[in-house]
Structure 1
Amino acid sequence: MLDNDVVQDEKASESEGLGKSVFSKARLSRDPRFDGRFFVAVKTTGIFCRPICPARLPKEENVTYFEHATQAMAQGYRPCFRCRPDSAPRSAAWKGVGASVSRALSLLSAIPIESVADIACRLGISERYLNKLVVNAVGISPKQFQNMQRALFAKQLIQQTSLSMTDVSLTAGYQSLRQLQRAVEQYCGTSPTQLRKKQGAEQKSISLFLAYRPPYNWPYVRDFLAARAIEGMELVTKNSYQRYFSSHSSAGVFKAEHDQARNGFNVHIDMPDLRALHTVIENIKLVLDLHADPLLIEQSLMQAGLSQKQLTSGLRLPSAWSVFESGCRAIVGQQVSVKAAIGQVTLLVHQLGERVSNVVSSQGFDTETGECYSFPIPETVADNNLEFLRMPQARKNALRSFAQLFVSDSVPAHEDILAIKGVGPWTLDYLKMRGERNPDIYLGGDLIVRKVAQLYPIEPDKAAPWRSYLTLQLWQLSNQQKES
């Protein structure tokens, strides 16, 4: 929290890059690039907002600044109904506090929720130490953080979708409508019925808006995804990205349509089982890299030696749907062109993927002629001889061994992946970059990256912790050289 009545620690403010005066200037500018980086609480109304809120600007002496929505809620402020803080890009409140805290808050944000004890066990730390880390990072306990995240997700579903209150309750992880009502009243200062002013027709199809911090280079993301799209599973148009996926042993489909005027995507999701809806929404955000802060990334790339002219404004890191999918793509793509690799991955999907052409599409999704598919599960790949793939047997064996790791362990260790014969450092780094969505992977062993890096006086380590974006930027510079 940055309170006008409290003298802030100068060193802490400098480490976050935004002091009190900078928050004030950003608030007055209503610049959308600061959306999600902080929240503005108004003492006289008890409401907190995004810095882009269209409401009349309050006086400076009446506001308090928070770096995360849950911090404002913990102080008794309720979210604004106009700008909907729950819809803002993810706050960077825990930026720079360490990998353990970042991983902990990610696990605590997941729905359905895990017990705090289980999360501590997964992190390899004690529950007491986890509590200390989270309280120091965001000022509230892990359990409070979970409850607030769940309430904000329920609020988003109530306001942005036509799901019945029963479906909202179950999807957000509440055991009853009464639990949902209590949570919304406690953290949002109103009732679920009041949040939903206009009750639409109740349906299972979800439509909601996902925001990002501009600039966002949609043509780059679109072309990147289009070049790697698998026919029958993915469809990329001028202004949208659509794909089929598996969730809880059932099929689903989503379509994300770019809305540049609103700095985000209109997303439509059709899935019969809503238990994994929160996970699917978070996955869509990661696939489209909606949490990135382009200003911080560009500063790091220039510190590494690139000039402003050489940068692709609004660069994003489009990721794969899962770690398993990214690994399969990387193994199949070894030593061949992107086009040739996608041809083989398409064969893999058409032969072993689940056919999902019968998915009911109530939102008018685009469909292609013939069958549609979701990516195959590890068990199917591990148990097949893969004779239909046109590539060396050694690579088929590597692909099966890779799949077997995921059958035995949903999160295999990097050392085990690297121990597979035929899997080298490049393949593992590609998996980390696009599958694990690690923003700090420099593919120094990549032939194109190595060639382009020789043309510019760059120091890759100075781009940390955004070296994955440096890799993408060097690929982009190579493409520009070919075009010229």
Structure 2
Amino acid sequence: MTTLDPETCARARMARDSRFDGRFFVAVRTTGIFCRPVCPARPPLERNVSYFSSAAEAAQAGYRPCLRCRPDAAPGSPAWGLVSTTVQRALQLMRSEREAVSVEELAARLGVSSRYLRRLFSEHLGASPLSIWQAERALFAYGLLRDTSLPVAEIAFAAGFGSLRRFNAVFRQVYQRTPTEVRREGNAVPLSRGSSVVRLQLAYRPPFDWGQLLAFFRPRALPGVEQVVDEIYQRSFSIDGQHGFLRVENESARNRLLVEVHGQVGASLYLINRRLRRLFDLDADTDEIEKVLRQDSLLDRQICRCPGTRLPGAWDPFEYALRAILGQQISVAAATTIAGRLVAQYGTLVPDEQGCEYRLFPTAEQLAEADFSGLGLTRKRAETLRTFVRAVLDGRVDFNEPDLEAWCTRVTALPGIGDWTAQYIAMRGLSMPDAFPASDLGILKALGEGQEKAKPKDALARAEMWRPWRAYGALLLWQSLNPEKQS
């Protein structure tokens, strides 16, 4: 289990320091309630509190979530990114499935025994896999009950419960209250008849540089799929056969993103929530990341200019992997244009509620027989795409691989894919924080002196001090090349 420093936690909760929101939770023994460190209620005496590194741990210990500060709205715990590789992969698999996966099935997919997996969870997270799953899904459902007008049965399904009865039992166990009681206290605006818009609120820890994220996404927005309009990001999506469209904007005064999800996609809301958190890197521990990167004077200067940098992720690893392959040895603008042609040729055209049309990025199954002609690709690049699609379909490429070295070894074994592509897919498509495309021209230019570019081996050597956050170092180097665009 993650060890917390009581003195640091005490200072943070007394100051209601938003930088610690989600990094730990405060349990009050006299009331049986646990809170976020930013809770507006009067702080309890130190002798009456205990600290937990996750909401699941607090719930497992028998504490009820606070109805005022709402632990369901806290950013994800960055401490969980520091647990063992096996636990990381287990959490990733649990969160990538809409419904619960049994411990036995989870262990089998990880290649370990169920007994060993339970022991790892107890050791690192202080709770069983089932308790973690139930606490996370109950917390997610609580937010939907308070903030949306979705029927309780639909919320239960969206949170991954197979039956309303099971959902009610787990929810009551975690919250000591029924879903209906929570719904009565909510502040959601009722939807108009026929409307299919759901609004989500995604919290983050400041600082958070929304402007830099949009500046990164804007020139890379995929025609027909993505748009960055003013300060709003929007895109189409498809999950488990359900498709829709979403809009995201920043509410900086309350440290959260506001999301509008359009379409009949209620059953996929949990997965949409997880993908958006990864896309915008909302659970990053910027304090810890910057502490390491500030050891390098060049990165230190860039952090001072742009605090709160986040690693731009990807909505879908497969989509991003194809875009990275298309982007080999050509400009961002050219790669985006070709990717737009791929969508126009193979993507599904879907009308929205207003009669407008958007496209969905094609799946691996849809591209199984594609020859990729007419996109402006060389014969060799088209063959690389076909090989990669086949490797995804036959399981040679696993987007749930948690180990950077293993991922790169497996992907570079495919013809036409080198280390730059493998690292870049890992960095953005899989959100691996230590990925580092050392041969990238932008990185070499930023690390060079005068007009002289650095060499890849020198870039790798210098980046050793940035571990395990080399991907953030790469991003800061790219930003340093365009100081006039910095927010």
TM-score (normalizing by structure 2): 0.90
Classify the secondary structure of the residue corresponding to 2:216. Answer: helix
Partner amino acid, structure 2, of 1:227: P
The equivalent residue for 1:476 is 479
Does residue 313 (structure 1) correspond to residue 307 (structure 2)? The answer is yes
What is the CA-CA distance between 1:228 and the residue it aligns to? 0.4
Cα deviations across residues 4-46 of structure 1 (Å, max 9, x unaligned)?
Answer: xxxxxxxx75xxxx51111101111111111110011111211
**Is 264-273 or 193-202 further displaced after alignment?**
193-202
Deviation at 1:84, TM superposition (A): 1.0
Structure 1 residue 454 displacement after superposition: 2.9
How many Å apart are 1:482 and its aligned residue? 9.7
Q: Which residue of 1 aligns with 2:258?
A: 266
Instruction: Please state how far the C-alpha of 1:85 moved relative to its aligned partner.
Output: 0.6
Contact 2:299 2:473 in 1 (8 A): no
Deviation sequence 1:219-254 (CA, Å, 0-9, x none): 100011111001221111222111001122232111
- Give the distance between the partners of 2:299 and 2:384, measured in 1 at CA: 41
Aligned match of 2:443 in 439, 449, 457?
449
Q: Deviation at 1:279? A: 1.2
Contact 1:27 1:52 in 2 (8 A): yes
Structure 1 residues 79-125: Cα deviation after superposition (integer angstroms, max 9, x where no partner): 11121111111113434332112222333344311111111111111
CA contact (8 A) 1:395 1:422 kept: yes
- Asked if 2 retains the 8 angstrom alpha-carbon contact of 1:111 and 1:150, the reply is no
> What are the residue-to-residue correspondences of 1:188-203 with 2, within 5 Å?
188-196=175-183, 197-198=185-186, 201=190
The letter of the residue matching 1:318 is P
Q: Which residue of 2 aligns with 1:7?
A: none
Is residue 66 of structure 1 aligned with residue 55 of structure 2?
A: no
Amino acid in structure 2 at the alignment position of 1:266 = L
After TM superposition, the structure 1 = structure 2 runs for residues 262-411 of structure 1, keeping only pairs within 5 Å, are 262-306=254-298, 308-311=300-303, 312-356=306-350, 358-360=351-353, 371-409=357-395, 411=398
CA offset at residue 417 of structure 1?
A: 2.8
- The one-letter code matched in structure 2 to 1:287 is L
Residue in 2 that maps onto 1:116: 103
1:213 and 2:196 matched: no
C-alpha separation in 2, matches of 1:175 and 1:112? 7
Establish whether residue 175 from structure 1 lines up as the match of residue 162 from structure 2: yes
Amino acid in the other structure paired with 1:252: G
Q: Give secondary structure in 1 for the equivalent of 2:78.
A: coil
Counterpart of 2:402?
Answer: none
Report the Cα distance in structure 1 between the residues aligned to 2:241 and 2:58, rounded to whole angstroms: 38
Tell me the alpha carbon deviations over residues 429-470 of structure 1, each in whole angstroms, 9 at most, x when there is no partner.
111111111011121111121221234998311111111000
The offset of 1:149, in angstroms, is 2.0
| C-alpha separation in 2, matches of 1:452 and 1:69 | 41
Quick one: distance in 1 between partners of 2:298 and 2:84? 27
Which amino acid in the other structure matches residue 250 of structure 1? Q
Confirm or deny that 1:422 pairs with 2:416: yes
Determine the C-alpha separation between the residues in 2 that align with 1:284 and 1:143: 24
Kept in 1, the 8 Å contact 2:420–2:440? The answer is yes
Partner of 1:48: 34
Partner of 2:130: 143
- Relative distance call for 1:200 and 1:371 in structure 2 (3 A) is closer
- CA change 1:482–1:137 in 2 (3 A) is closer
Partners of 1:415 and 1:383 lie apart in 2 by 26
The alpha-carbon distance between structure 1 residues 250 and 174, as it changes in their structure 2 partners (threshold 3 A), is closer
User: What secondary structure is seen at the aligned counterpart in 1 of 2:349?
Assistant: coil
Matched letter for residue 201 of structure 1: P
SS in 2 for 1:193: helix
How far has the Cα of 1:481 moved from its partner? Answer: 8.1
Which residue identity lines up with residue 157 of structure 1 in the other structure?
L
1:13-32 mapped onto 2 (5 Å cutoff): 13=3, 19-32=5-18
Q: Partner of 2:236: helix, strand, or coil? A: strand
Q: Distance in 2 between matches of 1:263 and 1:46?
A: 27
- Give the 3-state SS of the residue equivalent to 2:348 in structure 1: coil
In the TM superposition, residue 162 of structure 1 has moved relative to its aligned partner by 1.2
Which residue among 226, 246, 255 is the counterpart of 1:254? 246
Does the C-alpha gap of structure 1 residues 176 and 249 become closer, same or farther in structure 2, counting only changes over 3 Å?
Answer: closer
Amino acid at match of 2:360: S
Measured in 1, the distance between the counterparts of 2:263 and 2:398 equals: 25
* Superposed displacement of residue 338, structure 1: 0.4
Write the distance in 1 (CA, Å) between the matches of 2:375 and 2:410: 24
Range with bigger deviation, 264-273 or 432-441: 264-273
Moved more, 442-451 or 199-208: 199-208
User: Which amino acid in structure 2 is aligned with residue 229 of structure 1?
Assistant: A
* CA pair 239-284 structure 1, distance change in 2 beyond 3 A: same
State the distance in 2 between where 1:416 and 1:390 align. 28
> Percent same amino acid at aligned positions?
39
Q: Structure 2, unaligned stretches of length 5 or more?
A: 400-406
Using structure 1 for the length normalisation, give the TM-score: 0.90
Letter in 2 for 1:475: W
How far the C-alpha of 1:391 sits from its partner, in A, is: 2.3
What is the Cα deviation at residue 57 of structure 1? 1.5
Whether contact under 8 Å (1:251, 1:359) holds in the other structure is no
Secondary structure of the residue aligned to 2:442 is helix
Secondary structure of residue in 2 paired with 1:119: helix
* 8 Å Cα contact 1:205/1:269 also seen in 2: yes
Shift of 1:414: 4.7
**TM-superposed deviation, 1:411:** 2.1
CA distance in 2, matches of 1:105, 1:387: 40
